[in-house]
Amino acid sequence: MSTTTTPSDPAARYRVDRFSVPGAAREEFLERVRDAHALPRTLPGFVRDTVLERPVGPARSDVTTIVEWESEEAMATARGIVAERQRSDGFDPGALLRRLGIEADRADYRRIG
């Protein structure tokens, strides 16, 4: 049985991905983001996710996705499951980003204090 993570839980881990998205790629990219977040939501240890957007100009926006996990272990397990699903589906996220001209900055975070 999964436990509920509170905002002050020091074991919580966060996957934060920031993307600089050309306007012409926005709709396709956001569709992929919605698809990509569907599987993690079903996995043990998932707490919540958020997708944020900030327009940078008429032809570009920054999209930030945040996924909160109960623990480092839950996040690592999910990462493996997601990677396996992408392999079995023949999906290459790096190729998609290159094709769409999207720059990405991805990292794992933990709460301070």
Query: For residue 99, what is the domain's CATH number?
Result: 3.30.70.100
Position 18 in a domain: yes
Q: Which residues sit opposite 19 in a β-bridge?
A: 63, 104
Region of 90 please: left (phi>0), alpha (psi -120 to 50) or beta: left
Q: Which residues sit opposite 64 in a β-bridge?
A: 18, 52
Position 4 in a domain: no
Position 92 in a domain: yes
pLDDT tens for each residue of 42-79:
999 999 999 999 999 889 999 999 999 999 999 999 99
What average pLDDT does the segment 26-47 reach? 95
Q: Are 20 and 62 in contact (CB under 8 A)?
A: yes
Helices (H), the chain: 26-38, 72-89, 93-100
Please tell me whether the overall predicted TM-score, pTM, comes out greater than 0.75 for this model. Answer: yes
Mean per-residue pLDDT over the chain, rounded: 92
Q: Which domain holds residue 77?
A: 13-110
SS3 2: coil
What average pLDDT does the segment 33-37 reach? 93
